[in-house]
Every structure is written in C-alpha cells, then in structure tokens.
Structure 1
C-alpha cells in the first residue's frame, strides 16, 4: 500500500479493503459521495490468470462500496485488467450506471492489460447484484 499526499475535499483511505468493508460502513454510514475512485491493485504473482482474478475481486469490492456510498448520477472509476472476468464485470457496472467506458492512459504500456472503467450516471435505488 502506498501513501498519497492529501488533496482538498478528498477522503483518501489507505487500508486492506477486504478486511475493512465494515469499517467503511460504520464510518460513512449515511454519507454520499460524488465520485468513488479505485486505483487498487493486489501484489502481482506473475500468473496472468491469478493476477486478473485478484484484481477483479478488488473491482467487485470497490463497486459494492460505490453502490452503497455514491450520490445519484455519481461517478465510479476503477482500475481493471483485461481478461476472463472483465466483460462480466462490465455488465455488472452497466447495470448500475448510465454510461460505462474503457480508458487506457497514454502512460500505460501498450502490452499491459491494465485499463480503467469510467462509469457515469449512478442509477439510484438499485440493489447491488
């Protein structure tokens, strides 16, 4: 985990999300956010399938958090890796947002499967599926 410099009006949470979802629930119980941004990535093991499954698990956790804490019409951005579970996750995100697009930063290596999903227009009152 890497620390980040503070930014005005930004809440930065540095923790193992898998072990702290309840902490987030209790800390931000009724609070709603304009944007939920996840740049999480697990430590890579070198096996593309395992690395992909691990990051997609983090993506699902970040989406679950976004659905709980994002304002109507809010924005969700998450890092993903292209692979076996990517399309399924895309459809899950599309269920909750009006617009979902892929974005590959210019700084990302061309051979890297890393990219981001930019999701706009959170649909309020839908249960997380």
Structure 2
C-alpha cells in the first residue's frame, strides 16, 4: 500500500509481504510487521541490535536507572540491545567489564560485556553468572526473557510466571541493598504471590509500558526498586 501526501509532505510506503509456499500466515504477518516497524528501522540505522534497545533506553530516561560504576546482570540478553544501551552509560569496558549477559542463543561480542551462552533455566546458570561477576554483587538485574509460547493461554501464563519468578529469585540472591530488578511481564500475568514477594523485598514496584513496546502487545515491564536485602524481615 502506498500513501501519498500533498506537496512538501513525505511519501510513506508500507511494505506488504506475500505469503510464500512453506511460510505460515503468522510468520508472514510477523515479517510484514517487522518491515514496517519504525523502531526496527531506527535500530538498524543507529547500530542497535534490536528495537528492544529503545525500551530500556526510555525506561532509563524516565526512571534514571543507569549510573557510572554500576554492575549489571542481563538475563535473556540476546541479541544484546539492552547491554548496548547500558554499557557506555555505566562505563563498562573490555578492561573493566561491569555487565554480564546470559542467553542460550549465540551473540556477537559487545564491548564491555561478558556474554555467557547458556540457558538461564539450567541449574548451574546462577552460579555461572556469579562466577562471571567475580563474586561482586549487582546493582541491577534486568530480564527481557520470554518463554516460548504454545498458543494455550493457561500454559503460556504459567511459563511466563515461572520465568519471572526464577529471575526474581536470582535478583534477590545477587543484588546490593538499594538495587533494582527490571523484568518483562504481561498484562494480567503478574501473580499476586509474585508481586507480594517483590513488595516485601523492594521499597517500590512500578509497572511501565515504553512507547517502543508495540501497542498491540500485552507486554509491560515491572520495576522493583530499593532492594531491602535477602531477609527484609530479619
């Protein structure tokens, strides 16, 4: 479809992708959406690995998350957009890496970031991350992990919650007092038990939906700030 404006107005082109043999309709629609997504084009032009970079960039601008000298763990880091945004802000370098990222997908190196190709669901993944951090505590644990969907809403809901709970347990284990936990959740997908647990361990919890998050997506982000310590009631 082509939209044309009057004199002095930019012509906008919308790409339509034809369904090809062997490609499912869902895949065709996803590809069409990618090709017409302004954030995808912007990420490509500005050298970011994914449109997700603008989500964490907006959250940082709004909530002042990143500061020089912080240590960060990025769960579900691939393809690396969040690390790309955070590394220069906190001053992470190859000589002194302050970010450790993990994903089961292979990633090209990112300056100032230690990358582990490993499934965070693996039993030894937390210890591998702690070893890569050199035994240091983290100031921020951030997670953009998403469980593979089955199309069965109840099953997908349980998988999402289990992944967020796993990330939250790890954050409580490794965060410095005052630290921050950032995780992707889905509207209606944050169980009362999980939110209650986070409220016990953090001073504040906030839900936020960045503009770069697609309007038709149920995803949102949960920010838990002011970590009280692993045993807040003791």
Deviations 1:78-127 (A, max 9, x none): 01112365333211111110000001111223342211111110011417
Q: TM (normalized to structure 2)?
A: 0.49
2:80 alignment counterpart:
4
CA distance in 1, matches of 2:190, 2:207: 15
Q: Which of these residues, 215, 230, 233, is aligned with residue 110 of structure 1?
A: 215
2:121 alignment counterpart:
18
Greater CA radius of gyration, 1 or 2? 2
CA distance in 2, matches of 1:25, 1:97: 23
Secondary structure of residue in 2 paired with 1:74? strand
Structure richer in strand, relative to its length? 1
Secondary structure of residue in 1 paired with 2:184? strand
Q: Which of these residues, 161, 177, 195, is aligned with residue 90 of structure 1?
A: 195
Of residues 102-111 and 53-62 in structure 1, the stretch that sits farther from structure 2 once superposed is 102-111
Asked if 1:45 is matched to 2:150, the reply is: yes
Residue 26 of structure 1: CA displacement? 5.3
Q: TM (normalized to structure 1)?
A: 0.83
User: Structure 2: where are the runs of 5+ without partners?
Assistant: 1-75, 93-97, 104-117
Conservation of the 8 A alpha-carbon contact between 2:161 and 2:189: no
**Structure ranking higher on relative contact order (CA contacts 8 Å, 6+ apart):** 1
